[in-house]
Amino acid sequence: MKEFKDYSILLVEDDKSSRNAMSRYLQRKGFQVTIAESGEIALKLLTPSIDIILSDLKMSPVDGMELLEKVKELYPEKPFLLFTAYGDIQIAVKAMKLGAEDFLTKPVDPDELMHKLRKVCVRYLKIENVENEEKTGINRQIVGRSEVLDDCLSKVNAIAKANCTVLITGESGTGKELVAKAIHQNSKRSHKSYIAFSAAELSENLVESELFGHKRGAFTGADRDYPGKFKMANGGTLFLDEIGEMEPGIQAKILRVLENREVTSLGDVNPVKLDVRIIFATNRDLLKEVEEKRFREDLYYRINVANIHLPPLRERQGDIEVLSNYFLNEFSDTYDKERITLSEDALETLNNYPWPGNIREFRNMLESIVIILGNNKITIADLPSRIKNFQGEILKGDKQISSGGFKIGMSMKEIEKEVIIRSLREYGGNRTHCAEILGLSVRTLQRKIKEYEIEL
């Protein structure tokens, strides 16, 4: 697979037929494979460019345990997996205590091997990010290795170092708050407060009180002083999500805060000076909102000092598999289940789906499956109908083959509308449940239903 093309494996196996068969299999999956007939030869071939070591346990004159100890002396962070016979499992457990990543029993099951390698690749990716932190500035929680994501995070690194206002754009569920946190954590303000706020589900009065604070007695129910998010974030970073959802009155007050660098609580007359970095985010096209008089033009240019656009999941080639492994490992631990894997056809189906709710939808979908899954492998049959009925489109010659009613030439808006319609039908019109599954806020889903004129 293309996702593994940058990973190199040192395969150590003294049985020729097993060694050759496994080498061919790994190469078909996209790995770069170096083979060694013994532990002694493996030590001569071991270089910093080797990413993962797969080794048999019983070899001579240097066996797998000795090789493990040598590797951990030279390269303590390199993942090491052992192949062992069933009767040697206790030895394999001992090897894990010495630093082995995992072990597989012989004969090796290909699906189990790929599952463990995917797990290792995710772990290795994290190690790689830490090692490259000085170069990238980002010790990221955002999982993926696609080029579009790397380009985006390079921009995050540059912006994090500057003390400027930031606008993060992108569809719902693309990870805008994770990026905001990364900017804060890699800025000079990282030792100060990070405060996040979304106005998506609140009325204008509540938004005003939450943002600017209030004095006791400022309105009915104000039984105590409340500083508000701006003051709580003073010295640090304030993340304002869903800025496109805010009412004009709130927009005007935010503009004044940006211009004067001070905030006045409701019921107070004394402004407080602010030293806060503000990061805004929206899933809307703000320029279009400006043109249609729903968003203030002066505020738009005030907040769009540095812009980061997050790519939708459908454009992050190769990240579905990495994310699948990451989330399945997480949910396996959370729900105390054996390690769960994806069948190849299920993975292909997930790659073909457009994911209108992006990573949030993807994560929610996997968690729902893991909770009710009766075994440790997800197949197409386990996928929600909206996903398994969407298996992409194929062109054969000049013939068009479409699946599930989706046709080549449909715009993403048309596909998104169809996915929302199918999801609403699947969940009996329950908008709250549908929004949760699609990774959207209820307000955003309602707006899309209105925009697409969906009637059920």
Report the number of distinct structural domains present in the chain.
3
Write down which residue in 131, 156, 185 finishes a domain. Answer: 131
| pLDDT > 90? residue 303 | yes
Q: Which range among 131-135, 202-206, 234-238, 328-332 has the greatest average pLDDT?
A: 234-238
Residue 159 and residue 127 share a domain: no
Residue 150 and residue 124 share a domain: no
Residue 69 and residue 145 share a domain: no
Q: Is the residue at 110 inside a domain?
A: yes
Residue keyed to tokens 């995710």: 122
C-alpha to C-alpha distance for 357 and 432, rounded to whole angstroms:
14
pLDDT digits (tens, 9 = 90+) for 14-53: 888 888 888 888 888 888 899 999 988 999 898 888 889 9
The CATH number of residue 79's host domain is 3.40.50.2300
Residue 202 and residue 282 share a domain: yes
pLDDT digits (tens, 9 = 90+) for 221-270: 888 899 999 999 999 999 999 999 899 999 999 999 999 999 999 999 99
Choice between 355 and 200, residue whose per-residue pLDDT is larger = 355
| pLDDT > 60? residue 391 | no
pLDDT digits (tens, 9 = 90+) for 129-165: 333 444 344 444 578 878 888 888 889 989 998 999 9
On whether the CB atoms of residues 425 and 418 are closer than 8 A, the answer is no
Q: What local confidence, expressed as pLDDT, does residue 255 receive?
A: 96
Residue 267 and residue 160 share a domain: yes
Token pair recorded at residue 217: 């007695």
Residue 145 and residue 111 share a domain: no
Token pair recorded at residue 427: 């969940």
Residue 297 and residue 193 share a domain: yes
Q: Is the residue at 58 inside a domain?
A: yes
The CATH number of residue 230's host domain is 3.40.50.300
C-alpha to C-alpha distance for 329 and 338, rounded to whole angstroms:
9
Split at pLDDT 50, 70, 90, the class of 407 is low
Range name among 163-167, 187-191, 391-395 with the lowest pLDDT average = 391-395
Residue 156 and residue 63 share a domain: no
Choice between 299 and 172, residue whose per-residue pLDDT is larger = 299
Range name among 99-103, 134-138, 150-154, 361-365 with the lowest pLDDT average = 134-138
Split at pLDDT 50, 70, 90, the class of 3 is low
Write down which residue in 100, 131, 162 finishes a domain. Answer: 131
Token pair recorded at residue 208: 């005003």
Q: Is the residue at 400 inside a domain?
A: yes
Q: What local confidence, expressed as pLDDT, does residue 398 receive?
A: 35
Tell me whether residue 439 is exposed, middle or buried, using C-beta atoms within 10 angstroms of its C-beta: 0 to 12, 13 to 18, 19 or more.
buried
On whether the CB atoms of residues 350 and 358 are closer than 8 A, the answer is no
Residue 41 and residue 173 share a domain: no
Q: List the domain range (segments joined by +) for residue 408.
A: 317-451
| pLDDT > 90? residue 394 | no
Q: What local confidence, expressed as pLDDT, does residue 432 receive?
A: 81
Q: Is the residue at 101 inside a domain?
A: yes
Q: Is the residue at 456 inside a domain?
A: no
C-alpha to C-alpha distance for 372 and 378, rounded to whole angstroms:
11
The CATH number of residue 429's host domain is 1.10.8.60
Residue 420 and residue 380 share a domain: yes
Q: Is the residue at 162 inside a domain?
A: yes
Q: What local confidence, expressed as pLDDT, does residue 300 receive?
A: 97
Residue 252 and residue 120 share a domain: no
Mean pLDDT of 205-220: 90
End-to-end CA distance of the chain: 41
pTM, entire model: 0.61
| pLDDT > 80? residue 282 | yes
Residue 444 and residue 353 share a domain: yes
Choice between 133 and 116, residue whose per-residue pLDDT is larger = 116
| pLDDT > 90? residue 193 | no
Write down which residue in 92, 112, 131 finishes a domain. Answer: 131
